[in-house]
Amino acid sequence: MTRLVTGADAPDISLPATDGSTFKMSDYKGKRVILTFFRFSSCPFCNIRINRIVKRWSEFPEDTVMVGVFDAKIGELTKRMKKHNAPFTIVADESFEHFEKNSVMKSFSRFMWGAMRSPLTFMQASLKGYFPMTMSLSKLSLIPVDILIGEDGKVVEAHYCKDTVDHIPIDKMISFAKGE
């Protein structure tokens, strides 16, 4: 298991989506893809991130392909994600296989650092009703990864987040989706 790097092939993912379909990365060759390995379905930081992306979705091009991968069972994930009505694909990696293949890190200290450095984000998430429904240290310690994939099916950028709230800025994702 090695980290994705610029120029690497996009992860070969085929996973069940919350809309009942199956997402296959191979179906999107020729398109730019924004892929994020989130954490668990009730993660407050993941849910506030999705909420923020949904609020700005009108700024993305109409044909934007975005995929959020969660360490979750599809039934539970579908139920939790209903509140977002996300205009992009959300999938469940029930076996944790793709998290492992793409070197998604676990770090309890980075999880704690993210929680401590972002009390406002945590408060905003709590006010929206996003509460962590797990006490599994394995799930809590997951650190997200944002990946930008070009039309050629190659990684343009793999951002292994420093902590639970560090992500590629939404403005940069919009620019990438527009081909800028």
Tell whether pTM > 0.85: yes
- Give a yes or no: residue 113 inside a domain: yes
- Give a yes or no: residue 141 inside a domain: yes
Question: How does pLDDT run across 41-88, given as a tens digit for each residue?
Answer: 988 889 999 999 999 999 999 999 999 999 999 999 999 999 999 999
Burial letters 124-156, b for 16+ CB under 10 A, else e: ebeeeebebeeeeeebbbbbbbbbbbbeebebb
- Give a yes or no: residue 7 inside a domain: no
Would you state the pLDDT for residue 106? 82
* Tally of domains within the chain: 1
CATH label of the domain that carries residue 21 = 3.40.30.10
pLDDT band at residue 21 under the 50/70/90 scheme: very high
The Cα–Cα gap between 14 and 12 comes to 7
- Give a yes or no: residue 61 inside a domain: yes
- Give a yes or no: residue 9 inside a domain: no
- Give a yes or no: residue 146 inside a domain: yes
The Cα–Cα gap between 88 and 70 comes to 14
User: Which residue range is the domain that position 100 belongs to?
Assistant: 14-178
Q: Is the pLDDT of residue 90 over 80?
A: yes
Would you state the pLDDT for residue 165? 84
Q: What is the mean pLDDT of the chain?
A: 88
Would you state the pLDDT for residue 123? 60
- Give a yes or no: residue 40 inside a domain: yes
Torsion of CA 105, 14, 26, 173, to 10 degrees: -50
- Give a yes or no: residue 1 inside a domain: no
